[in-house]
Amino acid sequence: MVCFSRDSLEKIRKEEILAGLRDSKQLSEEKRNAFAKEILIHALRWKVVFVSAKFIDRWNINQAIFYGINRAIPSEFVKEPFLFVDGNYKIKISKPILGYQSFTKGDDLLPSISAASILAKTFRDQYLINLEKKYPGYGFAKHKGYGTEFHRKQIVKLGISPVHRLSFLKFLRKEKEEGLFDYGESV
């Protein structure tokens, strides 16, 4: 979640600050990191929420998104905020809000969504770099959470770590059926 003041939004519109702000997926890692530092300076409020793999496995990715959105809504500085959400969601909010609007490709259209996208990606990348230190060999620091072929091979070789989302490891069922992988005690 990123909230800019009206003044900052006007400066963004005029490209006086955060010039070229857009969807994190459209930016190089270097540019994302530079934007992240600048966003932290210019944002009125910001919050990054992580939802655990266990939560996602239990409730599903959409429920994890809704849970994360609810946790990110600030109640301490705005009595009833209005939300802009990336995607095409009908969401349930547990905190008082004036309303929300979902935007398909919103992370490339609205500064607050673009900024939130950048902070989420840069914080997640750093989290995965740290995970590589804790669980070496999976390539977390390199693939940054995307299911690359190398990562899949390492899961087969090393087993499932406590941070893997079991619901996203469907490819292992085939290997298990073919006797190529033993779930063992790591599950």
User: Do residues 133 and 118 make contact, with C-beta atoms less than 8 angstroms apart?
Assistant: no
Segment 145-149 shows an average pLDDT of 82
Please give the CATH number for the structural domain made up of 2-134.
Answer: 3.30.420.10
Segment 6-14 shows an average pLDDT of 96
**Digit-coded pLDDT (tens) for 26-83:** 999 999 999 999 999 999 999 999 999 999 999 998 899 989 988 988 776 666 678 8
Number of Cβ within a 10 Å radius of residue 51: 16
Tokens of 127: 């989290």
Question: How confident is the model at residue 166, as a pLDDT?
Answer: 87
Q: DSSP labels for 7-55?
A: HHHHHHHTTSSSTT---GGGS-HHHHHHHHHHHHHH-SEE------HHH
What are the backbone angles phi and psi of residue 120, rounded to the nearest 5°?
-60, -45
The pTM is what? 0.85
Tokens of 21: 């702000």
User: Do residues 130 and 109 make contact, with C-beta atoms less than 8 angstroms apart?
Assistant: no
For the cut 70, the answer to whether the pLDDT of residue 177 exceeds it is no
Give the Cα separation of 115 and 110 in Å (integer).
9
Q: DSSP labels for 120-147?
A: HHHHHHHHHHHHHHHSTTS-HHHHTT--
- For the chain, what are the domain ranges? 2-134, 137-187
DSSP state of 92: -
For the cut 50, the answer to whether the pLDDT of residue 180 exceeds it is no
H or E stretch at 72: helix 61-72
Beta-carbon contacts of residue 108 (< 8 Å; ≥ 6 apart): 22, 23, 26, 114
Pairing relation of β-strands 99-103 and 82-86? Answer: parallel
